[in-house]
Amino acid sequence: MTNATSTMLACYHDRMRRARDHIDLHLDDPLDLARVSAVAAFSPAHFHRQFNALFGISVHRYIQLARFRRAAFHLAYKDDSITQIAFDAGYETPEAFARAFRSRAGQTPSSFRKSPDWMTWEAACTPLDEARSTLMAQHFSKDAITIRSVGETRIAIMTHTGNPADIGQSIRRFITWRRANGLSPQNSATYTLFHDDPQTTPPALYRLSLCVGTDKPVAALGETIEIGCIPAGRCAVLHVTGTIDRLEDAATLLYRDWLPRSGEEIRDFPLYCQRLHFYPEVPEHEAVAELFLPLT
């Protein structure tokens, strides 16, 4: 491939990526073929075929699935009414929203809110995830890794043990528990401790701890809550923006690419992250986390 051809292809991909990212950032706005194609400066007469050929999904379905994904998060983790969630998802009536949601999630919105079937939800979102991973802009690099000395942080800990597919249920309980204790993300930091690698740990033995930073007494309220701390010390810190539901790629960058060349040694404390800005409180492109690899 010549340099000129490579440059033209990169330009084409940038324009298509810009259109796709525009959808994710404007889910509350009217989004039709003409508007989206204009962002990329392509003709709407051909854009639907261009989008489908590159991302493997039509513009219309991409918009629907992006709104469906956000609606599911609002149902599971927020207190918005189902009617409001339906309107935010672009439906004129809650009944139309309920029919569309059930066709994808296998549950009505009210049933999903009570007990989400995350495996069915994840399968429904697969085409969206694959489209987003195509031409994905890298939101982190080795140059973004810094070494930082952190102070000791007292934390309250709820540990999920078992199949990683069930973490969504633990997150719901964690959110309910922290709300009852007045520990909102605005006044208390949010951490996740990654005890095990989901790729190598048997599902029944997998552990992940959901933590909130606090030095105040907390009520267990029927949950198993431990009090502990993130110890002071040096850490390699990777700042990650964008879709941060899965941080495996960021962890791989730290362990595979950065650590062997750094000359550093790892401290005996799990890899952990601090979540700074949450989806769906902010658009997925604006979600922020910092991944900490403890060093000696």
pLDDT digits (tens, 9 = 90+) for 138-170: 555 667 799 999 999 999 999 999 998 888 889
43 and 97 in a single domain? The answer is yes
Shared domain check, 70 and 193:
no
> Do 222 and 153 sit in the same domain of this protein?
yes
Residue where a domain stops, chosen among 109, 133, 157: 133
CATH at 200 = 3.20.80.10
Same domain, 283 and 149: yes
115 is in which domain, residue-wise?
Answer: 3-133
Asked whether residue 127 falls in the same domain as residue 30, the answer is: yes
Is 154 in contact with 214 (CB distance < 8 Å)? yes
Residues 178 and 128 in one domain: no
Same domain flag for 99 and 172:
no
Same domain flag for 155 and 96: no
Instruction: Tell me what the mean pLDDT of segment 120-129 comes to.
Output: 90
Of the pLDDT bands very low, low, confident and very high (cuts 50, 70, 90), residue 266 is very high
Tokens standing for residue 63: 């918009």
**Number of folded domains that form the chain:** 2
Which of 128, 71, 58, 135 has the alpha carbon at shortest distance from 101? 71
Are 167 and 209 a contacting pair, CB within 8 Å?
no
**272 and 154 share one domain:** yes
Q: Which of 24-38, 108-122, 140-154, 175-189 has the lowest mean pLDDT?
A: 140-154
How much is the pLDDT for 144?
79
Same domain, 200 and 232: yes
Which residue has 């199949």 as its token pair?
163
Does the predicted model carry a pTM greater than 0.75? no
Question: Which among 106, 133, 160 is the end of a domain?
Answer: 133
Q: Are residues 112 and 228 in the same domain?
A: no
Contact 230, 272 (CB under 8 A): yes
